[in-house]
A and B are shown apart, each in its own frame.
Chain A
Amino acid sequence: MISIKNVRKVFPSKQGQLTAVDDVTLEIKEGEIFGVIGYSGAGKSTLIRMLNGLELPTKGTVTVASREISKIKGSELRKARQEISMIFQHFNLLWSRSVSENIAFPLEIAGVKGPQRKKRVAELIKLVGLEGKENAYPSQLSGGQKQRVGIARALANNPKVLLCDEATSALDPQTTDSILDLLVDINQRLGLTIVLITHEMHVIRKICHRVAVMESGKVVEIGSVLDVFRNPQQPITKRFVQQVTEPEDTKETAEHLLEQYDSGQIVQLTFIGDSAEQPVITNLIRHSNVNVNILQGKISQTQSGSYGTLFIHIDGDDQEVDKAVDFIRSQQVGVEVVSHG
């Protein structure tokens, strides 16, 4: 569906050349929700803007829905853009137009005539749940409602691809979740391919099938969301995964306990899918002569299964503790010793 090959984007700047995207190659499948995560300045925004030709690659090719976006120009590019919609962090609605008129705008561009346009707008308003707000102006809407207008507008011409440029970054957590649910719903109902960029791992966890991690213009890690969560390779990926799995106070709690007890070990366990359902802790206590103190636990849902983390403090005879850790390792559970007591 989308193929990015050896793409480089260099911006000329006063301090010389700035490489925003550095030799990126990606394949995104049809019907997939693909996430790109990175901190600001990682090049993810430039990357997504090359998918609809708002930026042109300095080198390499971008192909979307069998059209080479990096090559086409003029009316062909404009035609292609009607199939590659985009929603934005700051919604970018026309404040001079009402909700209906905003949604009608892309239809006007596509040359859809009056009555048909009206019908389509009504459908879209229903699809995004904005009934009753047809004649409101953007200034009268909340952030979440504005993004719903943005989504309706983006879907107006039945696109094949939806690009989401930090679409939830300006919203509060609850609204973020409702917008993400809407995106998943659209993805399933319309079979739309969604590419989103974000700096929040929560967004990736909640709706993406696959994820690419970007750092200083390069894709440093790519894989299915569950794999990346289970086994993050790069330090930056680990930091992002921690955003979701490890609340900040975990570390403090661990440190506090380590100070309190000079014996034992603090261990982080990660469970994926089936392993989450085994009574690992019960078996552990039966198997070895140790005390187990549960510090913190959490289970997160991803699009392709659940993922859990558990922090425990194992105390007892040094030998027994080592044996206990070895036992957990044999149980198809990810084990990481946080620090030694």
Chain B
Amino acid sequence: MDKYFPNVDWLMMWDATKQTLYMTGISVLVTFILGILLGMLLFLTAKGNMWENKPINTVIAAIVNIFRSIPFIILIVLLIPFTTFLLGTMIGEAAALPALIVGAAPFYARMVEIGLREIDKGVIEAAKSMGATTWTIIWKVLLPESLPALISGITVTAIALVGYTAMAGAIGAGGLGNLAYNYGYQRNQNDVTVAATVIILIIVFVIQFIGDLITSKIDKR
């Protein structure tokens, strides 16, 4: 091992991996909840749906589109005041979370909305014709019926988030991206970059595998 990776401090690599997993884990969790909330609102307030409301729909759609369009590296910089206000610092893994979530939640919200729109309108109508309330429809029709789409969507988002954490690492958030940047790039230790890349690839493959497994388990279509 030391022969191929002479500059790699494996303890440091392990710490960086944990930081990456931490950033990815928390941001995926919050993005999942926030994205479903936003996506659900986008869906329900759209024309012809239960909470049809053009002004609210337009405002949410605009916010989602704006934050989805800003390149992530710029978003981090833009959010510096917000992050320092929230956490008192701009350094460390926790400081990366606001930017990660603000960047990913709108992206996921759109996927949630698409997933919800794919539900057969007839099924929603059938639930209405049985006397279901909107809450019942949300919990027992919309969410279960779109679950495979929600899971495959969060899988894609989680993988994008792994990439985002690496970018956030480059400007001081820690993690594998930070390590690769500080050692691999700044000190020209290519073996560190390669090792960090391999670990990131493994993380991505594992996320994809878990996502596919869950999707195929719950998809009864």
Which residues of A come within 8 Å of B, CB atoms? 52, 54, 77-82, 84-86, 88, 90, 92-97, 105-106, 108-110, 137-139, 153, 157
Contact = CB atoms under 8 A, between A and B. Distances in A.
A255 B147 CA distance: 60
Interface residues of B, number: 21
Interface in B131-147: 131-133, 136, 140-141, 144-145, 147
B144 A78 contact: no
A79 B133 CA distance: 11
A97 B220 CA distance: 8
A49 to B, nearest CB: 9
Given A96-B147, A105-B140, A108-B140, A90 B120 contact: yes
Contacts of B132: 78, 109
B126 A92 contact: yes
A105 B123 CA distance: 12
B125 interface: yes
Interface in B110-153: 120, 122-123, 125-133, 136, 140-141, 144-145, 147
Contact of B131 (A81, A137, A139): A81
A32 B127 CA distance: 25
Nearest to B130: A106
Contacts of A88: 122, 125-126
Contacts of A139: 220-221
Nearest to B137: A109
B214 interface: no
B131 A109 contact: yes
Nearest to B148: A96
B165 to A, nearest CB: 33
9 contacts: A88-B122, A88-B126, A92-B123, A93-B123, A93-B126, A95-B221, A96-B147, A109-B127, A139-B221
Contacts of B127: 105, 109
Contacts of B141: 94
B62 interface: no
A139 B219 CA distance: 10
Contacts of B147: 96
Contacts of A94: 123, 141, 144-145
Given A88-B122, A94-B144, 15 more contacts: A52-B129, A78-B131, A78-B132, A80-B131, A81-B128, A81-B129, A82-B130, A82-B131, A85-B130, A88-B126, A90-B122, A94-B145, A105-B140, A106-B130, A138-B220
Interface of B: 120, 122-123, 125-133, 136, 140-141, 144-145, 147, 218, 220-221
Contacts of B218: 96
A137 B130 contact: no
B123 A54 contact: no
A54 B128 contact: yes
Contacts of A95: 145, 220-221
B130 A81 contact: yes
A139 B120 CA distance: 14
Interface centre among B120, B129, B132, B141 (most CB of A within 10 A): B129
Nearest to B145: A96
A117 to B, nearest CB: 14
A85 B120 contact: no
Given A92-B120, A105-B140, A137 B220 contact: yes
A325 B130 CA distance: 56
B131 A110 contact: yes
Q: Which 3 A-B pairs have the closest CB atoms?
A: A78-B131, A92-B126, A81-B131
Contacts of A90: 120, 122
Contacts of A80: 131
Nearest to B144: A96
Contacts of A108: 136, 140
A283 to B, nearest CB: 55
A79 B123 CA distance: 19
Nearest to A78: B131
Contacts of A52: 129
B173 to A, nearest CB: 39
Interface centre among B127, B128, B131 (most CB of A within 10 A): B131
Contacts of B123: 92-94
A86 B126 contact: yes
A105 B132 CA distance: 10
Contacts of A110: 131
A110 B147 CA distance: 24
